[in-house]
Amino acid sequence: MTSFLELSCHDLRCEITPGLGGAISSLWLGDTPVLRSTPAKDLVSARQAGSYPLIPFSNRVGHAKLQWNGTDHPLVQTWAEEPHAIHGVGWLRPWTVLESSPQFALLSYEHKADSSWPFAFDASQAYKLTEHELALTLSITNQSDQAAPVGLGWHPYFMKRPGCRIAFEATGRWEMNADKLPTHRLPSSGIHADCEFLDVDHCFEGWNGVVHLRDDVLHTRISANMSRLVVFTGPSHDAVAIEPVSHVNNAINLMRATGATAEDMGVRVLQPGESMSAEMSITVERAS
């Protein structure tokens, strides 16, 4: 049985699985799932979870090949169906509980350089639950002896119910190739669309930090202090992945291929001992 923490405040309830990537297995408002929710005791992989952290990078490092400061770092291919390193390492490793209460939890993870990521770091996740909101903070400190590239984000899956509609503003969208890697950026105003037949798997730039997801049951507001957003869903999917992230997919390899700077791609370069944090909140209310 998977060990878990439960946070609750009035009708809002959240289950966290420290041993499975510090993932959120479920988030409920009363009997209504906000995220794709599996009871924590039944969860066997963070890949099934309602949300998991993206650290120290989001989305893909193409073909699991990282080149940094003139050195090649072959990475571990995350799963058999794709040739890439995907979503970092934090979601695949156990986290330690530092503090927990009915409305708050603090978890930590210490990464030693390995074949999945060659730079050591410390990380923490904080979860705070109030009557209508789950607030998350994700932090990382570079513990290697050299400057290291870093990105943060979350991968929440929101339930797609009848009447589901997504709305957010952006200025651009990265187009994808058959390998699920970005190729070029086009202008985009974001998405204002019904989710039933929406088919999208893209990283948006110039995001204003707010997404509204409405259906016949709930109004959910996702907000974050990041300017990029990955949205992934299709007509056959029962959920919409709405992922606040700090950098473009495959950003480090795009920098090398295009000459773009780390700032252009959203990559933070942390010096030894330097830290970075990101914040996201999920606010939920019943549809009126």
- pLDDT at position 149, please? 97
Q: What is the extent of the structural domain holding 271? A: 5-286
105-113 CB contacts, 8 Å cutoff, 24+ apart: 105/5, 105/7, 105/16, 107/16, 107/18, 107/22, 109/22, 110/143, 111/56, 111/143, 113/144
DSSP letter string, 155-220: --EEE--TT-EEEEE-SEEEEE-TTS-EEEEEE--EEEEESTT--EEEEEES--SEEEEE-SSEEE
CATH number, position 46: 2.70.98.10
118-141 pLDDT per residue, tens: 999 999 999 999 999 999 999 999
Measuring CA to CA, which residue among 37, 20, 46 is closest to residue 159? 37
Measuring CA to CA, which residue among 134, 103, 110, 150 is closest to residue 24? 134
- Edge to edge, the sheet with strand 104-111 lists 96-101, 104-111, 121-129, 133-142, 275-286, 218-224, 210-214, 165-169, 190-194
Structural domain total, the chain:
1
- pLDDT at position 41, please? 87
- pLDDT at position 108, please? 98
* Residues in the chain, pLDDT under 50: none
Report the share of the chain in percent with pLDDT over 70. 100
The residue behind tokens 């993932």 is 23
